[in-house]
Amino acid sequence: MPRTAQGGSSCKRKQEILQNANYYNSSKERPVVRGHGSLGLCDFIKEKITDRKCSVFTVFRDPYDRLVSHYFFNRQVEKRKASGDQSDLTLNKSIKEWIKGSGSVVWRAFSNEWKFEKMNHGKEKCKELQHFVTREERWPSIDDHLVDIANNLDKHLSFIGLTEDLQTTYQMLEEVYGLPFVEVCSDMHVLQGSYELTNATEQRALKMSAKREIMEDPEIQRLIQFEVLMYEKAKEIFEAQKKVFLKLKESRR
């Protein structure tokens, strides 16, 4: 697999891309940038580095499953690193409290921008521009604009996969990009935390209990409407892609 840039934030990733500009501009390979980010990454690469073709793909996950996983993942990380004031840590919040204050990962990917500003010493600093003002807006209410984003999801992304069908997702990605996704990724699974337990049966029970708790909460249902809308649209697109892919495979036999 070609070299990849990755990291904890889009700003960090863009700094890494700039540091490897010659590689991204001249390599005969197909460079891959992976990790969390926003849809403006291709615009950034075209502006700062190269006019080579660039596209974005992603893999969607059931919003409730993702929230449960994210919550327990944060708890594990904080348990290892926590020090000093811990009042705002996930460790000290119920899953409902954490969800209501955390904000939508999907919304941030579609609403945030990153720009570089010149500093006094001549270097550039990456700055995140968040297109929400209040904490409540981190979970956007459904309006015509957001419905339009969902309805045009396939215009923003070159490919959409699903964690529920990772093997088919890898096969289709390999078909689209000509890169060895199946060989490299087949042993990878959906990221799963230990949920602070060692017994697999207890882990599953805790996960299902947490998922049931948030699915039955009317306020959380309201907050994550946008993520549910995007996920349902992603499933439609995935099934359409899969249908074309299977026909293509059949024609080659």
Question: Which ranges of 103-197 does DSSP label H, i.e. alpha helix?
Answer: 105-111, 144-151, 153-156, 166-177, 181-185
SS3 content of the chain, % helix, strand, coil (to 5): 55, 10, 35
For residue 224 the two structure tokens come to 């994550």
| Residue found under tokens 């495979």 | 249
Torsion of CA 104, 160, 156, 221, to 10 degrees: -30
pLDDT in tens, 10-39: 666 666 777 777 776 776 777 777 776 667
pLDDT in tens, 85-114: 555 677 788 999 999 888 888 887 777 665
pLDDT in tens, 149-177: 899 999 989 999 999 999 999 999 999 99
pLDDT band at residue 214 using 50, 70 and 90 as cut-offs: very high
Torsion of CA 111, 126, 85, 67, to 10 degrees: 30
pLDDT in tens, 180-213: 898 888 776 545 555 555 677 888 888 899 999 9
H or E segment at 159? strand 159-162
Q: Smallest Cα–Cα separation from 235: which of 247, 227, 225?
A: 227
DSSP letter at 122? S
Calpha distance 238→167 (Å, rounded): 13
Tell me: pLDDT of 62 over 90: yes
In sequence order, the 6+-apart residues with CB closer than 8 A to the CB of 34 are: 4, 5, 6
Calpha distance 248→237 (Å, rounded): 17
